Amino acid sequence: MSRSPQTLLYAKTHEWADVANEGADKVATIGISAFAIEQLTDLVFMALPSIGTKVVAGKEFGEVESVKAVSPLYSPVDGEIVDVHSDLPDNLDTLKEDPYDFGWILKVKMSGDTSLNQLLAHGEYERQCGEEG
């Protein structure tokens, strides 16, 4: 699968969501943006939740640690985690090379799509990143 950053939705906290219909369910694949990874620089640790964990848009679900800081990861959507990229914490260097395909973090079966109203389209997100520098 090849995921284009231009087609994703973004939280102001730099997580992205790729929402797809899977049968009767909407499932959001979630990761963190290339901009965020670049700002964090050398990643050394990532804590991920378990399958079955409920997440709420705007609330913390895990963290990523770099040599500079520990940064919380926030869910861009409401729902239940149905898959976790368990290989990712052992391959954090690869996250820099491919944040949108290999770098997905988890998949969430959405419990509604009202949380999508708070997310940014790619152009809006790029403007925000430009302002943050």
The residue written with tokens 């152009």 in the block is: 123
Quick check: is 13 in a domain?
yes
For residue 97, give the CATH number of its domain: 2.40.50.100
Q: What is the number of structural domains in the chain?
A: 1
Counting residues of the chain whose pLDDT is more than 90, the rounded percentage is 83
Q: Round the average pLDDT of the chain to a whole number and report it.
A: 94
User: Above 90 in pLDDT, residue 89?
Assistant: yes
Burial (CB count <10 Å: 0-12, 13-18, 19+), residue 116: middle
Quick check: is 78 in a domain?
yes
Mean pLDDT of 49-73: 95
Query: What is the residue range of 100's domain?
Result: 7-126
pTM above 0.85, yes or no: yes
The reported pLDDT for the residue numbered 1 is 61
Quick check: is 64 in a domain?
yes
Quick check: is 26 in a domain?
yes
Tell me the helix, strand and coil percentages in the chain, rounded to 5: 25, 35, 35
Confidence of residue 96 (pLDDT cuts 50, 70, 90): confident
Quick check: is 2 in a domain?
no
The reported pLDDT for the residue numbered 88 is 93
Quick check: is 133 in a domain?
no
The reported pLDDT for the residue numbered 29 is 97
Nearest Cα to Cα of residue 29 among 88, 81, 95: 81
Confidence of residue 69 (pLDDT cuts 50, 70, 90): confident
Hey, is 24 helix, strand or coil? coil
The reported pLDDT for the residue numbered 10 is 97
C-alpha distances (whole Å) from 2 to each of 7, 42, 52, 79 are 11, 24, 26, 24
Mean pLDDT of 70-74: 95
Quick check: is 63 in a domain?
yes
Q: What is the pLDDT of residues 17-58, one digit of tens each?
A: 999 999 999 999 999 999 999 998 889 999 999 999 999 999
